[in-house]
Structure 1
């Protein structure tokens, strides 16, 4: 019988090549045409895989049907990058201006592409069906939900789903997983403050949109500490504020935008009703008006306890029990949560941390490519253990 570890170790050079090719061509949101094309071509070169492209625009799905009755397992990777200028100095750095795989999605894709090839070669040891989901727009506005709406969880119906992500908060050589909520719900809000512009020397004749916006930002910072249950961790962050263009004029308009995070589905659903009265109250007091837009994002990412137990059993064969960590839940968010709402799901982290490493979403983010083999082996062993 083929030794799984030896089989995967033999892919070390291939996974590195794939990761580096993808790292050079980062793309944003749903506009991942080059990336999706590379993924589709690679999947199409694997004997026994049926490949569908253009799902929800640029999503790609590979299907391995073993020809034997059984359950259906979905394995997922995300394809999009971030609008960040790369500063790693890598020989294979981004060739696209102000775009970078600063969240490791190049590694996530490489892991799943190698996994697809290996499992196709092990099809005689499997039953049922495995679907390989490559989705755009994980960072925002979310590609999983439209791919679900396009029917990827049907024909055959998906019973189980597993996904992973590189995680520099865990040391390289470890894997992280936990039952229950692992990542938060996330949403985005945008506010335009409308005042009355005028001369900077005559504030009494104006309604200062910039000053009003500053007061709104300060008031929003108190929502979590004074309106929400302290036993339910939540975050309100204003990440963008724009107003004015010259030093001696009071701006008529100001725009701000931010994000909300919480582990509590009820708070997630009610955030618009929580935030808007705060914004309105400040604007009323300052004599300004406003426009408020709230975009409901991703629900909490919740791991099924039975799936976690099964995945952990497979992980022990990969790194040993001592190197499996139960991490703290993260206020980061993941739209594979939409998949997990409809299937039994498990999301795990592949430790990629080393001394002095940059965090995710940083212009200097990088990782030791050898950790990718641990993600591949976990995917392969989970598939064999669940569908073998």
Structure 2
């Protein structure tokens, strides 16, 4: 089956690129991806698979491929939302939707998985078990789509899950892996500080919330330096301080917004509890009234060590001219809602290099000039296809027993 699948993918590389370019021209932001979802659903019409649309809290699609032989159930996921970014590339297929752009590679994720899924549907008689293809909406915007798809129960029978992300820090042909905690969790906060306005010449008759806000910015950095385990990782950022007014007027109220990143559940809990404690202290110290809205957006992403090793070992041994190197990636402080799947289902999330050819330093994900080497689409399809074949041929029983024992 492996040889047949790889040959089919090679023959359909141009189709992957065509799909990716179409999606790139018509990006849609999180929770507004109706046309994209319809395009994906039409692709599966008439194919020998079950399709469920509007899964979760938006336009999620789950395609179920039932193999011809008994076995486990695995899931493969690709996201399809874009970002509210104005594209600044010169691509002939650049975005036609003003102020929206596929600046994170989700168009490529969707394109490779659509073609891979179609090939697997055609080979279903040779498959052991079941494969669930998850086309996920709203990865970019909390609460995201993954959590709601998990909560829908549609993945309750899945034994293992796999996903990939295009990354421009390595050239096409590179597959990256990392075991254990691999991507940061993220929380967001908004703090309103209510003081008492007045004239700058008479601060004693007012109560300046800007001073309280400035103290808050300094104090929360001690969470990282003095409250987290020195061997853990975390960062707290205030990205907005709305205190603009007149130069000689003390404002009534200011608002601050920011986020926190962390690499463990323990760090997440410490940062949140300390944030509330500091806010309570600021109210007492400065005599102001604070309202803190604190939301845990995405958990830290944990790649199961046994399954990650299974992926690494199998991709390293394949004889494939397109997969040139398999390397360990460092931990990444960005966040990814694939983490919600991994909280429930053992699996791994690995990375596909897509650095454009001839570029010394590529624009990173979320940049308005973000581009990819489209050769990476075939690499993604082949890498995930190799994982499916290895799982199907040798490891569906052994891997399940190994994960259970660990």
Query: For the superposition of Structure 1 and Structure 2, which TM-score range results when normalised by the shorter chain?
Result: over 0.9
Match of 1:273 in 2: 273
Q: 1-side partners of 2:388 and 2:371: how far apart?
A: 28
Match of 1:337 in 2: 339
Match of 2:28 in 1: 27
Q: 1-side partners of 2:98 and 2:198: how far apart?
A: 38
Q: 1-side partners of 2:128 and 2:5: how far apart?
A: 18
Q: 1:122 Cα deviation (Å)? A: 1.8
Q: 1:3 Cα deviation (Å)? A: 4.4
SS of 1:44's equivalent?
A: coil
> Are 1:244 and 1:250, in contact at CA under 8 Å, matched by a contact in 2?
no
Q: 1:367 Cα deviation (Å)? A: 0.7
Q: 1:386 Cα deviation (Å)? A: 1.1
Q: 1:234 Cα deviation (Å)? A: 0.9
**In terms of mean alpha carbon deviation, does 181-190 or 363-372 score higher?**
181-190
SS of 1:352's equivalent?
A: strand
> Are 2:177 and 2:329, in contact at CA under 8 Å, matched by a contact in 1?
yes
- CA, structure 1 residues 53+309, in 2 after alignment: closer, same or farther (shift >3 Å)? same
SS of 2:377's equivalent?
A: helix
Superposition pairs for residues 1-388 of structure 1, below 5 Å?
2-44=3-45, 47-56=47-56, 57-141=58-142, 142-154=144-156, 157-316=157-316, 317=318, 318=320, 323-353=325-355, 354-388=359-393
> Are 1:244 and 1:253, in contact at CA under 8 Å, matched by a contact in 2?
no
> Are 2:68 and 2:127, in contact at CA under 8 Å, matched by a contact in 1?
no
**In terms of mean alpha carbon deviation, does 310-319 or 358-367 score higher?**
310-319
Q: 1:304 Cα deviation (Å)? A: 1.5
- CA, structure 1 residues 102+322, in 2 after alignment: closer, same or farther (shift >3 Å)? closer
- CA, structure 1 residues 226+145, in 2 after alignment: closer, same or farther (shift >3 Å)? same
Count residues with an aligned counterpart. Answer: 385
**In terms of mean alpha carbon deviation, does 173-182 or 352-361 score higher?**
352-361
Q: 1-side partners of 2:305 and 2:322: how far apart?
A: 20
Q: 2-side partners of 1:32 and 1:104: how far apart?
A: 15
SS of 1:190's equivalent?
A: strand
Q: 1-side partners of 2:377 and 2:225: how far apart?
A: 40
Q: 1:87 Cα deviation (Å)? A: 1.2
Q: 2-side partners of 1:231 and 1:49: how far apart?
A: 47
TM-score (norm 1): 0.93
